[in-house]
Structure 1
Amino acid sequence: MDKISPLNIMVLCNQLLYLEALKSLFNAESQLSCKGILMSNPQATSIIKNEDPALLLIDANSMGKKIWNFLYEIRTNTPQIKTIILANNNDPIHLDMAKDNGISGYILKSSPIELLMATIKIVKNGGEFFDRGNYGEAEKDISFEEKYKLSKREMEIITLITNGNTTKTIAQQLGLSFHTIEAHRKNIHKKLNINKVTELIKLISEFDS
């Protein structure tokens, strides 16, 4: 059997410790290979073009408003590179601008690591994911996950369901079998006492309101 080459990721960030932490996280995964660039590097754009990673992960908050010009340049010169943004907030205007700039993924820094990893898989397989957030908000006494005793995997699947994915596409994106996802969905319905996706969306909306 041929050995599967790891997915090449490049992280662009202005904080060295954060950059090294992400590199260590990704390089610990056998299916991922990661390099990093500090945004202060004047050759950043050229390095990205020469390295030609499959996926570019950008710390948006380190760039400020300059990120939109940078993304336009990346999309123009290297349209084959898929991009995921890490950000402190997900204001609708920022999500819209990210989509307009060809971004495939948008993740809050407060989101679980599992969601970031899942997003990488989604983007790798040609999909898109834009994080709605609401993880560990200070004003909430208990999270949705804690209230209904949901596992990290179940929350991951719930997020994908509410973004319009079918059991088949979720299985493909997470690298799991169709029957495994079906089993997770049945457990989720049982825990939440629901029968339909519309009831799931309504329950989440009421919790977040």
Structure 2
Amino acid sequence: MMKPRLTIFDEPMLYTEGLSKLLSQSNIFSTIDICNSLEPLTKRLKDQPPEMLIMSSNMLMLTELCKLTENIISEHKNMKIIIIGNSYDVIDIRKLFNKGIKGYLDKNCTYDEFLKSINILLLNEIYICDHAKEKMISFISSEQEKHNPHIREPLTRREMEILKLICDGNSSKDISEKLFISINTVETHRKRILLKLNAKNSVGIVKYAIENHIID
């Protein structure tokens, strides 16, 4: 298998040259080129496009990085782009992935994580650094809490089934007959649903179901 070519679009020179030397020792790439401005990068992409491109937020504003990524990917669909960002927030990172990048690293990442990201991209997978991943997880959690401020933990499939039957006006006896389970089991599920939804009674359950479009 042929070794890929790499282009680094970043500055300052001292840092990029050091990075280039370190990467040369890793023996992953056939060639490593450095572009410290947009002009040589454009020429490189036109004359001899690399298989992998590392671009830094030092070089362009986020909106320009997004636009450049979009343009590059439209011309070179298989190029693997890694962005080294300045602690971008989750929405911006998602935007870059939508434009076609395959890897995202924050500037505070270690060289080991940087190497790991390269190896993962070479396996045709995507990579998000640990720091950004933690931000994504906490972002998703807070979004879920925003949409369901009263829900402590998600309802199970069986609890969702019972919730719908309660909303249809079924008694515990009706539910036990329909689902072939004991009334005690239905009551246990009902208590758990009330607890999870922070509801006092069936009215609270119905209100939750309507607000969250579980029933119309």
Shorter-chain TM-score: what band?
Answer: 0.5 to 0.7
Output the aligned Cα RMSD.
1.7
Q: 2:96 corresponds to which letter in structure 1? A: A
In structure 2, the residue matched to 1:119 is 117
1:24 has 2:45 as partner? no
Alpha-carbon separation, structure 1, partners of 2:44 and 2:4: 17
Structure with the larger helix share: 2
Q: Secondary structure at the match of 1:42?
A: helix
In structure 2, the residue matched to 1:178 is none
1:57 has 2:54 as partner? yes
Spell out the pairing of 1:94-173 with structure 2 (5 A cutoff).
94-133=92-131
Is the 8 Å Cα contact of residues 83 and 105 (structure 1) preserved in structure 2?
Answer: yes
Q: 1:125 corresponds to which letter in structure 2? A: L
In structure 2, the residue matched to 1:91 is 89
Equivalenced residue count is 130
- TM-score w.r.t. the length of structure 2 is 0.56
In structure 2, the residue matched to 1:165 is none
CA-to-aligned-CA distance 1:142-181 (integer Å, 9 cap, x gap): xxxxxxxxxxxxxxxxxxxxxxxxxxxxxxxxxxxxxxxx
Is the 8 Å Cα contact of residues 103 and 126 (structure 2) preserved in structure 1?
Answer: yes
Greater Rg by CA: 2
Alpha-carbon separation, structure 2, partners of 1:127 and 1:52: 20
Identity of aligned residues (%): 18
Alpha-carbon separation, structure 2, partners of 1:75 and 1:9: 16
Is the 8 Å Cα contact of residues 11 and 58 (structure 2) preserved in structure 1?
Answer: no
Is the 8 Å Cα contact of residues 83 and 103 (structure 2) preserved in structure 1?
Answer: yes
Q: Spell out structure 1 runs of 4+ moving beyond 6 A.
A: none
Gaps of 5+ in 1: 135-209
Alpha-carbon separation, structure 2, partners of 1:30 and 1:96: 31
Range 20-29 or range 42-51, more displaced = 42-51
Gaps of 5+ in 2: 133-216
Alpha-carbon separation, structure 1, partners of 2:61 and 2:8: 16
- TM-score w.r.t. the length of structure 1 is 0.57
In structure 2, the residue matched to 1:173 is none
Q: 1:118 corresponds to which letter in structure 2? A: K
